[in-house]
Structure 1
């Protein structure tokens, strides 16, 4: 099938799938293809280096990577400081607390750019990519990956402690006002 034929087929599919809403199916296909390429390249690299793949990852590694994936996905998709990475694909909307921002995907006319904007502004969507990278790192460079994951996990724990502290401080201040 030619590239033109593929574009026509995707356009017909998009119209049939979501006739009253813009859904960038072509961009989603490009993102899925890129993800498959990255995952395939990681698998090929693991095979080429002869690194052993564990039959079952250790529970502690799954927990460590799970928390690290959560934190890195939020840092990349929501943190104010990382907004320059998302700016070509998103537009600032408003702050959303705790150093995070809400952004809207730019309407650029490009389904690929739209799909990248959705991916970069969605921590749930980005988590698949982050987890794949960290899992590949666990096989290819386990000590370094565990060190990085430990730092991200410590930051995630710190975030929850900061929020708990702020909530308890607000509760204490509210209690003082009621006593007065």
Structure 2
């Protein structure tokens, strides 16, 4: 066992090339993700819900809802208390958003910090959650995804309005 540990440690050190990369934390996060998805698959097979398909309409809701929920959790100022154990505030970002740095101490804390502060990274988990939701609780999931889709649409309309307003002010 020691030889295997030494080999893994050596490969990890070679991969890192001196950089701080929380490979152990990534492994824990991947294991948790795989276990959750595997458990959902087993329960779906046991309950006979494995053959349910997501409609194109639900996929559209899930796409926009995933975008909005991942962005809300990872960037919104109001959700910063959720990220606080894993990140540090750096500065304001876009409208109602903040930029944060990932905490460096602890491989799992660092890995979770990267996950919860990156909308692209978090969207994998959110989309998986929506997929499981459509499988086991489609009515509730459709309502939640619809609300998030409406919020995302509203956000884009707000940004378009602000851009048009700024353009009009420049022309005056």
Report the TM-score when normalising by structure 2: 0.94
Report what 1:98 is aligned to. 95
Moved over 3 A (4+): none
On the 8 A contact 1:10/1:26 being kept in 2, the answer is no
Match of 1:125 among 109, 115, 121: 121
Report what 1:138 is aligned to. 134
Match of 1:156 among 129, 149, 152: 152
On the 8 A contact 1:134/1:145 being kept in 2, the answer is yes
Match of 1:165 among 138, 153, 161: 161
User: Quick one: distance in 2 between partners of 1:125 and 1:89?
Assistant: 15
Per-residue deviation, residues 77-127 of structure 1 (Å, max 9, x unmatched): 00001000000000001000210101000111x111110000010000000
Q: How many equivalent pairs are there?
A: 172
CA RMSD of aligned residues (A): 1.6
Gap runs ≥5 in structure 2: none
Report what 2:35 is aligned to. 37
User: Quick one: distance in 2 between partners of 1:69 and 1:12?
Assistant: 38
Q: Quote the offset at 1:17 in angstroms.
A: 0.5
Report what 1:76 is aligned to. 73
Report the TM-score when normalising by structure 1: 0.90
Gap runs ≥5 in structure 1: none
Moved more, 150-159 or 41-50: 41-50
Q: Quote the offset at 1:58 in angstroms.
A: 1.6
